[in-house]
Amino acid sequence: MDWITIISTTVKAAIGVETVWYALAAIGINIHFGYTGLLNFGQSAFLAVAGYGLAVTVTVLGLPFWIGIGVGLLAAVLLAVVLGIPTLRLRADYLAIVTIAAAEIVRLVFRSVAFKDVFGGSDGRRGFSDGFYALNPFPEGEYGFGWLLFGERTLWVLVVGWILVGISCAIVFLLMKSPWGRVLKAIREDEDAVRSLGKNVFSYKMQSLILGGVIGCLGGFIYGLAYASVQPDIFGTETTFFAYTIVILGGAARVFGPVVGSAIFWVLLVLVNGVLSGAVESGIITFMDSTQVGPFRFLLVGLGLILLLVFRPQGIFGDKREIAIDAR
Partner 1 sequence: MNGVKIVVTTESGQPVQEVTSDAKGTWEVPVEKAGKYKVTLDVSTLPPNLQVRGGSNTRTPTVYEGNPASVLFALQPKTAAGAEPEQSGGGGSAFWERAAQLTFEGLNLGLIIALAALGLSLIYGTTGLTNFAHGELVTLGALLAYAFNTGIGLHLIPAALIAVILAGGLGYAQDRFFWGQLRRRGTGIIAAMIVSIGVAIFLRYLFLILFGGQSEAFAQYNAQPGIQVGPISAAPKNFVAMGIELLVLIVVGVALLRTRTGKAARAVADNPAPAASSGINVDRVIRIIWTVGGAIAALAGIMLGLSQNLKFTMGQDILLLIFAGVTLGGLGTAFGALVGSIIVGLFIQVSTLWVPPELKSVGALAVLIIVLLFRPQGILGRRERIG
Partner 2 sequence: MHAESAIDRKAAALAAFKDLDREPGVPKPDPILVVDNVVRRFGGLTAVDVGHVEVQRGSITALIGPNGAGKTTFFNQLTGFDTADSGQWTFNGRSMNGVPAHKVARAGMVRTFQLTKALSKLTVLENMRLGAQKQLGENFWRALVPAVWRGQEGEITDRAEELLARFKLDAKRDDFAGSLSGGQRKLLEMARALMVQPELVMLDEPMAGVNPALTQSLLGHVKDLREQGMTVLFVEHDMDMVRDISDWVIVMAQGAVIAEGPPGTIMSDERVIDAYLGAHHDAPLSESDLAEQLHEAEVALEAEFEEETKK
Site of interaction with partner 2 (CB under 8 A): 171, 174-175, 177-183, 185-186, 188-190, 192-201, 207, 211, 321-324, 326
Residue number, 38 or 270, with CB nearest to partner 2: 38
User: Which listed option, partner 2, partner 1, none, makes contact with residue 113 (CB within 5 to 8 Å by class)?
Assistant: partner 1
Could you tell me the maximum CA-CA distance found in the chain, to the nearest angstrom? 67
| List 4, 61, 81, 92, residue binding partner 1 (CB under 8 A) | 92
Cβ at position 85, least distance to partner 1 in Å: 9
Residue number, 213 or 274, with CB nearest to partner 2: 213
User: Which listed option, partner 1, partner 2, none, makes contact with residue 298 (CB within 5 to 8 Å by class)?
Assistant: partner 1
In the region spanning residues 36 to 65, those forming contacts with partner 1, defined by CB under 8 A, are 39
Dist. CA 201–CA 89, nearest whole Å: 10
309 with 325: CB under 8 angstroms?
A: yes
The closest alpha carbon to 212, from 165, 172, 252, belongs to: 172
Instruction: Tell whether the torsion through CA atoms of 151, 154, 160 and 162 is positive or negative.
Output: negative
| List 20, 26, 100, 246, residue binding partner 1 (CB under 8 A) | 100
| List 96, 172, 187, 263, residue binding partner 1 (CB under 8 A) | 96
Alpha helices in 88-200 (DSSP H): 92-110, 116-119, 130-134, 152-177, 179-189, 191-196
Is 163 one of the binding residues for partner 1 (CB under 8 A)?
no
Stretch that binds partner 1, among 13-21, 141-149, 178-186, 309-317 (CB under 8 A): 309-317
Dist. CA 63–CA 87, nearest whole Å: 34
Is 238 one of the binding residues for partner 1 (CB under 8 A)?
yes
Stretch that binds partner 1, among 106-114, 155-163, 201-209, 255-263 (CB under 8 A): 106-114
Is 104 one of the binding residues for partner 1 (CB under 8 A)?
yes
* Buried residues in 294-320 as b, exposed as e (16+ CB within 10 A): eeebeeebeebbeebeeebbbbeebee
Cα-Cα end-to-end distance for the chain: 48
Is 321 one of the binding residues for partner 1 (CB under 8 A)?
no
Residue number, 31 or 102, with CB nearest to partner 1: 102
Any idea how long the chain is? Answer: 328
Based on the number of CB atoms within 10 Å of its own CB, is 226 exposed (0-12), middle (13-18) or buried (19 or more)? buried
Instruction: Tell whether the torsion through CA atoms of 63, 67, 73 and 79 is positive or negative.
Output: negative
Based on the number of CB atoms within 10 Å of its own CB, is 291 exposed (0-12), middle (13-18) or buried (19 or more)? exposed
User: Which listed option, partner 1, partner 2, none, makes contact with residue 200 (CB within 5 to 8 Å by class)?
Assistant: partner 2
Dist. CA 144–CA 136, nearest whole Å: 17
Binding site for partner 1 (CB under 8 A): 39, 86-87, 90-94, 96-98, 100-102, 104-105, 108-109, 111-114, 116, 121-123, 238, 241, 244-245, 248, 288, 292, 295-296, 298-299, 301-306, 308-310, 313, 325-328
